[in-house]
Amino acid sequence: MGKAYIKNGTPVGNESLCRTCTNAHIIAGYRESELITICTNVGPNFVLPFTVYECSCYYDKNRPDWEQMQRLAIHVTPGTLKPVGFKIGATSPINDED
């Protein structure tokens, strides 16, 4: 059975959202306690003394930007359009009854 989602519940785990954010400047030392995270999206920039779970200014650095998406896009050219509807021959069965 999977984990149950509880709205506004206590988050599980300790991975900071800043690890994958483009607005974060992270400085890590050799020890786990040697970690400084600076948010560069606000002015003036400030140090975050805690692990971030949710952020309204989060922008994933692994997400491609507009230029990268345009380079990756597949250009599709439309083919010739076929006539739509039913085909009626020169002699219709309805007209032959007369």
| pTM score | 0.53
Q: What is the pLDDT along the chain (98 residues), one digit of tens a residue?
A: 556 666 766 666 678 888 889 889 999 899 878 889 999 988 898 898 888 888 888 888 888 889 999 999 998 888 887 777 777 766 655 655 55
Interior/surface letters 1-34, b for 16+ CB within 10 angstroms, e for the rest: eeeeeeeeeeeeeeebebeebebbeeeeeeeeee
Neighbours of 37 (CB within 10 A): 20
